[in-house]
Amino acid sequence: MRLRPLALKAIDSTASATAPLRMLPSFLIVGGQRCGTTSLFKTLAQHRSVARPFALKGVHYFDTHFDHTFNWYRGHFPLRLTSRLKRLAGPAPITGESSPFYGFHPLAPQRIAEALPGVRLILLMRDPVTRAYSAHSHEKARGFEDEDFITAIELEQQRIAGERERMIEDPSYVSFSLQHHAYVSRGRYIEQIQALEAAVGRDHLHLVDSHEFFTDPESTFADILRFLSLTPHSGIKFERHNARERNPLDGHLREDLLARFEETDQRLSQWWGRAPSWRR
């Protein structure tokens, strides 16, 4: 459990000196939480033209670590020369990271656009009810949630009321509840999509339906490679990571929650040009 603190300490001590020699990310997986971001990142990392960041898959610079310098951020990524030498037979490598709070954080999209012009963003989307239920289990397991699922859903608006506005007013403010207790709000994907589109442009944003990624990974992954201008690569293994067994959600509760997403899911379908898997 000490890997992250030790890794961050090592990066802090070397980043300033080596930052100009390091790669900058060409892509970011910006969300959504509990939608398969780890699985997609580990799948992309198998590609011969993708160089992994140092130690951590998610740096969280543009959300919770923006008080650090940009050199600190760049210090997480591979050295340009080392990565290029390892791949002399192929195209120039690219690198990226996966921080699923980026897409939901009110300031992250614009921060990303200003720091990484031209970067490509990937947003995964999952049935928002299942996502909310999974996120609650995840936060409870991490010690960030004490309430049962129904109570947490009832408390959500009270917990996050005014938090986005406070973060915008004071960029140094870190909202614990917005990061850990926004179970329903994080499933309103169209709101995140529109904020990301406004920051980087539609051509630099790619949506992935998580159900399709896990049921038809070859086709879905091929679309992602085209978006990133990467050539097809044989030998990719598609595996599911961070999945947890949990008790099934009550059918009536599921229907009630799904109704809460009807309007935003309809807007998502209109934006995307097709309905997501959970609405077919």
**Mind giving me the DSSP string for 104-154?**
TSSSHHHHHHHHSTT-EEEEEE--HHHHHHHHHHHHHHTTS--S-HHHHHH
Q: Structure pTM? A: 0.92
For residue 208, list its beta bridge partners. Answer: 124
Q: What is the pLDDT of residue 65?
A: 94
Q: What is the pLDDT of residue 52?
A: 84
Q: What is the pLDDT of residue 92?
A: 80
Q: How many Å apart are CA 114 and CA 131, to the nearest integer?
A: 30
Mean pLDDT by 10 residues, the chain (280 residues): 54 71 95 96 93 82 95 89 62 91 98 98 98 96 97 98 98 96 98 98 98 96 97 88 73 94 98 97
Q: What is the pLDDT of residue 223?
A: 98
Q: What is the pLDDT of residue 174?
A: 94
User: 184 to each of 109, 138, 145, 200, 220, how far by Cα in Å?
Assistant: 20, 14, 15, 25, 26
Q: Which domains occur in the chain, in start order? A: 21-142+187-238+248-279 (3.40.50.300)
